[in-house]
Amino acid sequence: MSKHKSNRDRLVYSEFGNDATAREPERVQELPPQQQDLRVQATRKGRKGKTVTIVTGFQAKPETLKALSKALKSQCGAGGAVKDNAIEIQGEFVDRVVAFLKEKGYPAKRSGG
């Protein structure tokens, strides 16, 4: 074994202090479903012509979003993902998603055309 540290272990310059503080996750204050303002829209932008239903406006923890995403995907029978504090469902399921969210207590509204 080598007694020397690799080049990756050396810190050359750091303007904003410790790296550990920069990597701390944000604390998200989770609001109850009734207090959230959710928007549901179908879009094709940046997806090579494929339609995706996007739910935005969440103020919830990642665990809550993941569980809600899983329920929505099974409800619509489609794939999807959680990206940037929004849920994406593959396909055009705006009406189905709005109905499901209202059933769960979220005041969801259709957005866009």
pTM of the model as a whole: 0.72
Specify burial of residue 48 (Cβ count, 10 A radius: 0-12, 13-18, 19+): exposed
- Return the closest-CA partner of residue 82 out of 103, 64, 105, 102: 64
Q: What residues does 39 pair with on adjacent strands?
A: 56, 109
32 vs 56, more confident: 56
Question: Which domains, from first to last, does the chain contain?
Answer: 28-110 (3.30.780.10)
In the predicted model, is pLDDT for residue 72 greater than 80? yes
Q: What is the CA radius of gyration of the chain?
A: 20
In the predicted model, is pLDDT for residue 28 greater than 70? no
Give the CA-trace dihedral at 97, 99, 103, 109, to 10 degrees: 80
Q: Look at residue 82 and give its three-state secondary structure.
A: strand
Q: Between β-strands 52-56 and 86-90, what pairing exists: parallel, antiparallel or unpaired?
A: antiparallel
